[in-house]
Amino acid sequence: MTSLKENDVTPNKDLAVEVLNLNFSLGGPLILQNLHLELHKGSRCLLVGANGAGKSTLLTILAGKRMVHDRVNVFGKNAFRDTPPGVTYLGTEWANNPVVRGDILVSTLLSNMKGDKYVERRDELIEIMDINPNWRMHQVSDGERRRVQLVLGLIQPWDLLLLDEVTVDLDVLVR
């Protein structure tokens, strides 16, 4: 009798996300253990759990930012080795990037992130998020910086949007 490993099974291309028996640790105890997840294309999923439960870890794995040996596919492709286009991940580490804390105009950031290619979408997002393109990134508040990040992440069309603690630093009216 031949055994078949789960990683050898053909990926299901009808699923947006397919995770089979995921175990993950950062060198200590398992953060994620025997996780199975299937998300169909077009579906929405909200991860809820206590601090330290592994929500952010799972999102970074799905975004292809952490390599795992277990089966994690996004649109039928390995999330780490062959991350498909159209996957957008917005996490909290972005705010610590020296570039977005430097003396740079929001309009320059928007142009560098293909904002000029999606003008109508960009302008609508700027209005919704109440952003001034003339802001200088080194002078904005953490909440304003987070709003700029959201606009930058949403300008390009996406097939899978992974939002990690998206409301951190946002005041109640913006949420």
CATH homologous superfamily of domain 8-84? P-loop containing nucleotide triphosphate hydrolases (3.40.50.300)
What is the residue-level pLDDT of the chain in tens, covering all 175 positions?
333 444 556 778 789 999 999 999 999 999 999 999 999 998 989 898 898 899 999 999 999 999 999 999 999 999 999 988 889 998 887 777 887 888 999 999 999 888 899 999 999 999 999 999 999 999 999 889 989 989 998 999 999 999 898 767 666 555 5
* pTM (predicted TM-score): 0.80
Residues 6+ apart with CB under 8 A from 55: 47, 48, 49, 164
Range 28-58 burial, b when 16+ CB lie within 10 A, else e:
eeebbeebebebeeeeeeeeeeeeeebbbbb
Listed by start position, the domains of the chain span 8-84, 93-163
User: Which amino acid, 141?
Assistant: S
β-strands 87-90, 160-163 pairing: parallel
